[in-house]
Amino acid sequence: MDIKKENRRLWAVNRAIMESDPMRRTLTNKKLRKKFFWFGFLIKGFEVAARLSPFYQKGKKNAANPFINQVDLVFDSLPPAFDGYSILHMTDLHLDFIPEITRRICEQLRSVKVDLCVMTGDYSNRIGGDYYKDILAPMEQIVSAVQHRDGIFATLGNHDTFKMVGPFEDMGINMLINETCDIIREDSKICVTGLDDPHYYYTKEMKTALEKSDIGFKIALVHTPALYDMVRDNGYDLYLTGHTHGGQICLPGGIPLILHLDRGHKYYRGKWNYDGMTGYTGQGVGSVGIALRYYTRSEITLFTLKTRKDTGS
């Protein structure tokens, strides 16, 4: 029996059940609703007010024009064979929300060549929307635009359905559903573990996947930063994530008004450190609810991993 195939089949059955449930499954085991009807009214009210303000065009521009944010990450633990390794990170693309976002992502990617591309979920905006019609064609364009050496690894977010996994793999994306894939250089390796979304769909298989990963430089791809301590406890060096959109609508100084997080609030944006593990929470490429951003920008992140050099001092 093909164990990976059987695990995937069991995962898909369980995910389908969870997707049809209005309650979400969280690490903290709280019974929480996925959606609150008043939230839509709140967003609409904010949008009407923003339209009447002089800041409306600025908010639209921030949301619809992704920029490439170049970030160097230095590690003591990175094998020298991976010194200079580049990783393109895109999260929260929400491709069915801002019509021009796919074209603008592809324009940005044209000049970028990377070793690896990773995506941490929320390809979709409408939960339960028509992924076949709205997501697959733009994803194919993005996959074609990424120039990579070692592939595209991706996980799902809370806006996504399990039904996307097969079509994404047919496009050449290596979906990691509580699974690990190794990248080898000379006699060293990077282990990349991707988990299912823990915001709506937490299961114990996530912890098991982290525990099972091998020795090496370890990278976790998780839709939200909520598992920061569990990931660190399993010896991971780098945690790449998203979901928060960096707050999307923030006060001056990037202070978020709303963060859809149960835990890990202080890791809502950019580079962070938890007990020696480096984390990075992308601001997201797309937007959700309202096509505006204030004190955040649509971000594609280009990491360069570096081995810390011994200065001899």
Part of the chain binding Fe ion (CB under 5 A), chosen from 38-46, 119-127, 132-140, 250-258: 119-127
Pick 142 or 190: Cβ nearer Fe ion: 142
Is 122 a binder of Fe ion (CB under 5 A)? Answer: yes
User: Minimum distance from CB of 297 to Fe ion (Å)?
Assistant: 18
User: Minimum distance from CB of 200 to Fe ion (Å)?
Assistant: 8
Which residue of the chain is nearest Fe ion when measured via CB?
A: 243
Of 159, 51, 141, which Cα lies nearest the Cα of 104? 141
User: Minimum distance from CB of 178 to Fe ion (Å)?
Assistant: 17
DSSP string of 57-111? Answer: HHHHHHHH--EEEEEEEEESSS-GGGTT-EEEEE----TTTSTTHHHHHHHHHTT
Dist CA 78 CA 283 (whole Å) = 25
Packed helices 101-109 and 136-145: angle between N→C axes, nearest 10 degrees: 10
Among 108, 120, 125, 158, binds Fe ion (CB under 5 A): 158
User: Minimum distance from CB of 197 to Fe ion (Å)?
Assistant: 7
Helix (H, G, I), strand (E, B), or coil: what is residue 233? helix
Q: How many residues bind Fe ion (CB under 5 A)?
A: 4
Is 96 a binder of Fe ion (CB under 5 A)? Answer: no
Pick 123 or 236: Cβ nearer Fe ion: 123
Is 196 a binder of Fe ion (CB under 5 A)? Answer: no
* CB distance 59 to 46 below 8 Å: no
DSSP, res 248: S
User: Minimum distance from CB of 157 to Fe ion (Å)?
Assistant: 4
- What Rg do the C-alpha atoms of the chain give, in angstroms? 19
Part of the chain binding Fe ion (CB under 5 A), chosen from 5-13, 52-60, 129-137, 238-246: 238-246
Contacts of 194 (CB under 8 A, 6+ apart): 153, 154, 155, 175, 176, 177, 178, 179, 180, 181, 220, 221, 222
User: Minimum distance from CB of 306 to Fe ion (Å)?
Assistant: 30
Dist CA 163 CA 227 (whole Å) = 24
User: Minimum distance from CB of 15 to Fe ion (Å)?
Assistant: 15
* CB distance 279 to 238 below 8 Å: yes
Is 160 a binder of Fe ion (CB under 5 A)? Answer: no
Part of the chain binding Fe ion (CB under 5 A), chosen from 50-58, 114-122, 123-131, 301-309: 114-122
Is 243 a binder of Fe ion (CB under 5 A)? Answer: yes
Pick 122 or 150: Cβ nearer Fe ion: 122
* CB distance 243 to 89 below 8 Å: no
* CB distance 179 to 172 below 8 Å: no
Part of the chain binding Fe ion (CB under 5 A), chosen from 78-86, 149-157, 180-188, 292-300: 149-157
Dist CA 170 CA 160 (whole Å) = 17
Among 59, 66, 79, 157, binds Fe ion (CB under 5 A): 157
User: Minimum distance from CB of 191 to Fe ion (Å)?
Assistant: 24
Is 245 a binder of Fe ion (CB under 5 A)? Answer: no
Of 181, 161, 165, which Cα lies nearest the Cα of 173? 165
Binding positions for Fe ion, rule: CB under 5 A: 122, 157-158, 243
